[in-house]
Amino acid sequence: MQERRFATLDVFTDTPLAGNPLAVVLDAEGLDGGAMQAIAREFNLSETVFVLPPEEPRHRARLRIFTPTRELPFAGHPTVGAAVLLALRDRAERQAAAQADAAAFGLEEEIGTLSCAVEAAEDGGSGRARFKLPVLPSYLGDAVAKDSLASALGLKPNEIGFQRHQPSRHGAGPLFTFVPLASGEALARARLDVGRFERLFPQAQADALYLYAVDAEGLGHRYLARMFAPHLGVAEDPATGSAAAAFAGVLMQFEPLGEGTHDVVIRQGLAMGRPSTIDLQLVITEGALRSVEIGGQAVVVSEGVLRVG
């Protein structure tokens, strides 16, 4: 039996008990995939991340990410949370907080190496991280019919779609069906019928549903979102960074975005009482999407020791 350090964080928020909770297992060397999956089931959070030595010495760490039911090639809130935690630990070990409020390093995931930048807060227990995707989102085709989606969500077909936006499928690692809703009220009212979802997406690794609507609060590109992923063991997710990354593809498809840098704010988790804020940045040159960056805050909630083999 070995002791392995862990921490829990709330991600895409600066407030404990809000945002998306995350478990980070340090000292993960020697754990195989089966043991990691069992630990993820024990934590029973939307994701648990395991920190391993990097394959390339110039990088900070290698990460493996698990939902309660399977491993993921990439996920946003584990990347942000792990980056903040590692930067905070590095700063504490150097005992030179005034000289180490910012850090930049690479985190290796199955999808590739993510370039991260972290700004640590003065309190020593929180920070803000951002990372650039190593791959751009892919368009995966049209979604299933509006009538079927509406039936699975307890909505009317005419509540699906707004302006140019129609249901679509995109992915940047994990795959998502994106469902635009006509109002924030319809978004709040949506209720997933799991049986109908499973009939629409029968495969074990089928799409998660990402619902979004225009956020009337504030100026600029702002959206409200909800995400359902029964096949991943996640009834509803308070904040989904990988979906926000793929959402860049949705915006390229349906929004008349011009040249330059576009900043997007996504608020999620409101219906769950765990408000989250995800920052998404797109860079477009010569009419093409060139880079996608995800950012957000994270706060350490607890630290402890796992006693596992």
Q: For residue 289, what are the β-bridge partners?
A: 284
Distances (CA, A) of 162 to 63, 166, 179: 38, 7, 10
Q: List the structure tokens of 18.
A: 């809000």
In angstroms, rounded to a whole number, what is the distance separating the alpha carbons of residues 106 and 247? 23
Q: If we measure between CA atoms, which residue out of 70, 5, 3 comes closest to residue 34? A: 70
Question: 128-144: buried (b, 16+ CB within 10 Å) or exposed (e) per residue?
Answer: bbbbbbbebbeebeebe
From the candidates 3, 29, 47, 198, which is the catalytic residue? Answer: 47
What are the tokens at 164?
A: 């140019």
The verdict on whether 110 is a catalytic residue reads no
Q: How far are the Cα atoms of 26, 58, 308 from residue 52, in angstroms, in the given order?
A: 7, 14, 16
Alpha-carbon distance of 150 to 33, in angstroms, equals 37
Which residue numbers are catalytic? 47
